[in-house]
Amino acid sequence: MSIRILGTGSALPKRRVTNEELAGMVETSDQWIRERTGIGSRYVSTGETVADLAAHACALALENAGKTAGDVELLLVATCSPEDVAPCEACQVQEKIGAHGAVAFDLNAACAGFLFALHTAWAYVESGIYKSALVVGSEVLSKIVDWEDRGSCILFGDGAGAVYVEKCREGGLLGFVQHSDGSQGGALCCRGRQLDNAFFRQIPERGYLQMDGRRIFSFAVRQIPLTIGEALEKAGTAVEEVDLFLLHQANRRIIEGIAGRLSADPGRFPMNLEEVGNTSSASIPLLLDGLNRQGKLHRGMNLVLSGFGAGLTCGACVLKW
């Protein structure tokens, strides 16, 4: 028993921000950003919420799968940038798309969030609890980015990507692994609402993303090839048998470094970060939907999905499209 992706969808805010625009805000340039990251632009919310973007992506995934909201039994939203503490984003999405029969909750594993949510959907289906699920990664990172810090504001964008999955007996998700290393949590972090009540006061800190780029780069290039190798072993699949590697779109140099460690053709590592930047949990499903709608995914293809991010967390899965 496994799950197969039957439909994909994605959503981006209306406002596109180019590198040239950022060069007017911080000390940087289009050439500097492209050489170090591969990013040329990103989309930034001018009012769109995590739930808005997620609902749009979910509706498109259902349409692509030929399903309706009534077919959804489980709705999972992966995000690290929710607008509200309660209700959760998934319940808001449930209401927006009319999936009133679905169980809905959020999951936060930062940039690996979509994969962790996909694996969670697999576990529910494998156990026989549910037969179908919508899994979406949605972020509005622009509200937690320090737009005066050129080291981080150039990287991140907003957006959402979703997949509709159903139980299958053959193919689908063939194997996956997940890892977490809390000892390295300081490499990428963001403070939330701090303790401030009638009995305790503290000076609030700015709740902006803070990142040690070198540590993240080292972690990803070292750990992700190992994680992918574990997933391939579980699936009984060799690197040479993989048609495409769909990695978290953090940085072009990281992706190229991972391809080198795997001794795999970089052409099998598609990227969309030039257009949308790093969208955290949305990056893998955004890339997946783009390839699907471009007609580049065909039934029977072997795909590897892998993400990494704050926690530090990482994961990978092998699936047959």
Amino acid residing at 190: C
CA geometry: angle 183, 186, 190, nearest 5 deg: 135
Concatenating the DSSP letter of every residue in 175-214 gives EEEEEE-GGGGGGEE---SPP-BTTB--PPPP---EE-HH
Is 111 marked active-site?
Answer: yes
Partner residues linked to 43 by β-bridges: 16
What stretch of H or E contains 92?
helix 89-97
What is the chain's Cα-based Rg?
A: 19
Q: Which one of the listed residues 80, 111, 190, 317 is annotated catalytic?
A: 111
Give dist(CA 227, CA 175) in Å, integer.
Answer: 11
CB 138 within 8 A of CB 282: yes
Residue 189 is a catalytic residue: no
Distance CA 247, CA 243 (A): 13
Count of CB atoms situated within 10 Å of the CB of 212: 15
Catalytic residue among 19, 251, 278, 302: 278
Q: Tell me if residue 80 is catalytic.
A: no
Is residue 132 within 8 A of residue 166, CB to CB? The reply is: yes
Catalytic, out of 248, 251, 314, 317: 248
> What is d(CA 276, CA 180) in angstroms, rounded to the nearest whole number?
26
Burial of residue 15 (CB within 10 Å: 0-12, 13-18, 19+) is middle
DSSP 292: H
Residues identified as active-site: 111, 248, 278
